[in-house]
Structure 1
Amino acid sequence: MYEDEKLVCEDCGAEFVFTVGEQEFYAEKGLVNKPKRCPECRKKRRLNNRRHRKMYDAVCSKCGAQTQVPFKPAPDKEVYCKECFAQMSEN
C-alpha cells in the first residue's frame, strides 16, 4: 500500500525519504500531512523550541536538592528533582 517517497526539506533543501514505516506510523496516528522537514531539521527544531522554555528554580521535596522545572511551582504542591522523580516513577 505504501512506498518509500522522496521529499525535499523546506528548511535545508535536502532530499530525504519518507519511509513506508514512517507512513504507517503517520496513518496510525491520524496524521494526514507529509513531513516538510528532514529528520535532522525536525530534530533541530524540537531542540530549539525546547531551549526557549522558561525554567523555574525549585527545591526537591524528597532530597532537598536545588533543581529547575519547566513550570511555576505551586506553594502547596511537591516538586521533585529529575533523579527523585525517576526513582518514584520506577516504583
Structure 2
Amino acid sequence: MYENKVLICKDCGNTFDFTVRDQMFYAEKGFENEPQRCRDCRGVRKTARANGNGIPSSTAGLREMFDAVCAQCGTATTVPFKPRGDRPVYCRSCYQSQNAVRV
C-alpha cells in the first residue's frame, strides 16, 4: 500500500525521504497532506514557534547587544538597545523584579 517517496523541501530545496514508516505515522495521526519540509527545516520552524518570536534561532543571535550598568544593582550587563543615558537600564533580574512589582 505504501512506498518510499522522495520529496523536495519547499524551504531549502533539498530532497528528503518520505518513508513507509513516516507515511504510516501520518495516516495514523490523520494527516492528509505529505510533509512539505525536510526534517531540518521542520525543526527550525518548530524551534522558532517554541521561542514565540517567529524568528528561527539560527538568526536570533545576530541581534546587536550593548554594554550597560544596571541602575539598581550596579552589575555589568548587556541589553538589545543602545542606552541613551536619560533613562535607567536594568539587568535581567532587576528588570524582572521591577515588572513583578507593577503587576
State the TM-score bracket (shorter-chain normalisation): 0.5 to 0.7
How many pairs were matched up?
Answer: 68
Task: Give the CA RMSD over aligned residues.
Answer: 3.3
Match of 1:71 in 2: 81
> Deviations along 1:61-90, whole A, 9 cap, x unmatched?
000000000000011111000000111111
Instruction: Specify the SS of the correspondent of 2:90.
Output: coil
- TM-score (norm: length of structure 2): 0.52
C-alpha distance in 1 between matches for 2:63 and 2:88: 21
Q: Deviations over 1:6-64 (max 9, x none)?
A: xx56236667x8xxxxxxxxxxxxxxxxx9752x1122662122211110000000000
In structure 1, the residue corresponding to 2:56 is in which secondary structure? Answer: helix
Q: Which runs of 5+ in 2 are unaligned?
A: 1-8, 19-25, 27-35, 49-54
TM-score with structure 1 length normalisation? 0.58
| Aligned sequence identity (%) | 31
Name the larger-Rg structure: 2
Higher relative contact order (CA 8 A, sep 6+): 1
Q: Structure 1 stretches (4+) deviating beyond 3 angstroms?
A: 11-15
